[in-house]
Amino acid sequence: MPQPRDSIACLERIADIGANREESILLDKNERVAPFPADFFQEFLNSLNSTTLTQYPDQSELYRRLADLYNLDTDQLLLVPGSDAGLKYIFETFSKESDEIVHLHPTYEMVRVYIAMFGCLPKAVGFSSDLNISIDTLVNALSYETKLAIIANPNQPTGTLLTLVEIEMLAKRADETDTLLVIDEAYIKFDLETSAIAQNRRSENLCVLRTF
């Protein structure tokens, strides 16, 4: 029987929670916890027809609206099926075996999974016992060997938030070391002021992930 690559074979497959779900709220899955407003949901249902479900959608209007919303050019945006897929595309596009990847620890678990899956080398930056992170340690963790630095901001499960000044320090270091700095903003709604999106115009080595 054909065997998968070692880096895939060593991964553990986690059972799908969908089928026998007992908890109603899974905060660690970043699910929306409030129902959609009834009129909005009805409008969404009314907009569906057979074609909506059978044809590839025209995404151009969505790209235009998101570009307006975030004050970006449409070619600075890429729609992907969730941040998780976005992270995987980043590994597929930029990393090769034995590349060094800087990340927080603990953080979103899929970072560790992709590092293993793509045969990269983790360089974890940990937290103090009161769940703070030293920005100097984090900045200095980026070396000329670092291909990607993946930072969830806010981070989960710690809830730690880097300030815009700290993100700027990281972006500057990423420019020096030619590292792709990935800021995962899955939880940015808790503090929109610290979004790194505005910095996208200043640094070519910055990629921001958002999920809706």
Ligand X SMILES: Cc1ncc(COP(=O)(O)O)c(C=O)c1O
How far is it, in rounded angstroms, from Cα 46 to Cα 206?
Answer: 39
Strands 121-126 and 180-184: unpaired
> Closest distance between ligand X and the C-beta of residue 83, in Å?
4
Q: Are 151 and 105 in contact (CB under 8 A)?
A: no
Provide the minimum distance between the beta carbon of 182 and ligand X in the complex, in angstroms, as a whole number: 10
Cite the DSSP H helix spans in the chain.
6-9, 38-47, 50-54, 60-70, 83-94, 109-117, 135-141, 164-177
Q: Which of residues 30-89 bind ligand X (CB under 6 A)?
A: 30, 82-84
**Of these, 90, 142, 146, 156, which contacts ligand X (CB under 6 A)?**
156
- Site size for ligand X (CB under 6 A): 11
Q: Which residue lies nearest ligand X, judged by its C-beta? A: 82
Nearer to ligand X, 109 or 145 (CB): 109
Minimum CB distance to ligand X smaller for 177 or for 196? 196
Q: Specify whether the CB–CB gap between 6 and 118 falls below 8 A.
A: no
211 contacts ligand X (rule: CB under 6 A):
yes
Q: Report the nearest approach of ligand X to the CB of residue 108 (Å).
A: 4
Q: Bridge-partner residues for 150, per DSSP?
A: 103, 182
Phi, psi of 81 (to 5 degrees): -80, 70
CB of 172 to ligand X, least distance (A): 23
Name the residue nearer to ligand X (CB basis): 203 or 211.
Answer: 211
Assess 100 for contact with ligand X (CB under 6 A). Answer: no
Pick one of 18, 19, 21, 29: the residue that binds ligand X (CB under 6 A): 29
Spatial separation of the C-alpha atoms in residues 10 and 116, rounded to whole Å: 8
